[in-house]
Amino acid sequence: MNSIGYQAILSPQPEGGFTVTFPDIPEAITEGNSREEAIFNATEVLGLCLDVRMERNDPLPHPTETAGGEWITPYASVQVAIALKQIRESQGKTLSDVARQLNTSWPAAQRLERPNANPTLRQLDRAAAAMGKRLILLFE
């Protein structure tokens, strides 16, 4: 599975700096005095907005390519939670199914799909294996 990200539009402002918007995540808006600061802030606001959507069980929009857009990826904790949920759902499994496969409780399985849960690498490896996947870390 590829990294999870969304296209951002960095709009230069006449007074300096940039405003950042995400066409697929309209509530995600930020700014920065420099391009680097705007991208840093975009990563943060994207992660926060995706976290809120996941907490409310709101559907996550499919990322679309936007002319002039730039791919922004949220923090790893958000990417892991989204990836686990997407894999589970694509396999037609419930959280109860995953809990049984991991020999754990339903709340423990649910925490794996929460960006603020901070699962260990061992827990992630076991969850991946339970879904017929391998955990692979990549530093870019």
* Residue 136 resides in a domain: no
Residue 66 shares a structural domain with residue 16: yes
Q: What is the pLDDT of residue 140?
A: 74
Using the 3D structure, point to which of 32, 55, 72 is the last residue of a domain. 72
Question: Tell me, what's the pLDDT at 57?
Answer: 87
Q: Same structural domain for residues 51 and 95? A: no
Q: Which of 60, 59, 54, 15 is nearest to 33 (CA)?
A: 15
pLDDT at 118 over 80: yes
123-137 pLDDT, tens digit each: 999 999 989 999 988
Q: Which domain holds residue 84?
A: 76-130
Per the CB < 8 A criterion, the answer to whether 42 and 30 are in contact is yes
In a domain, 87, yes or no: yes
Total structural domains in the chain?
A: 2
Instruction: Tell whether 98 and 83 lie within a shared domain.
Output: yes
Judge if 10 and 53 occupy the same domain: yes
Domain CATH code at residue 66: 3.30.160.250
**pLDDT number for residue 2:** 64
Structure tokens, 64: 């679309």
Query: Is 137 a member of any domain?
Result: no
CATH number of the domain residue 105 falls in: 1.10.260
Instruction: Determine what percent of the chain is predicted with pLDDT higher than 90.
Output: 76
Residue 74 is predicted with a pLDDT of: 92
Domain contains 62: yes
Considering the domain boundaries, does residue 55 fall inside one? Answer: yes
For 79-112, the pLDDT digits (tens) are 999 999 999 999 999 999 999 999 999 999 999 9
Burial of 59 (0-12, 13-18, 19+ CB in 10 A): exposed
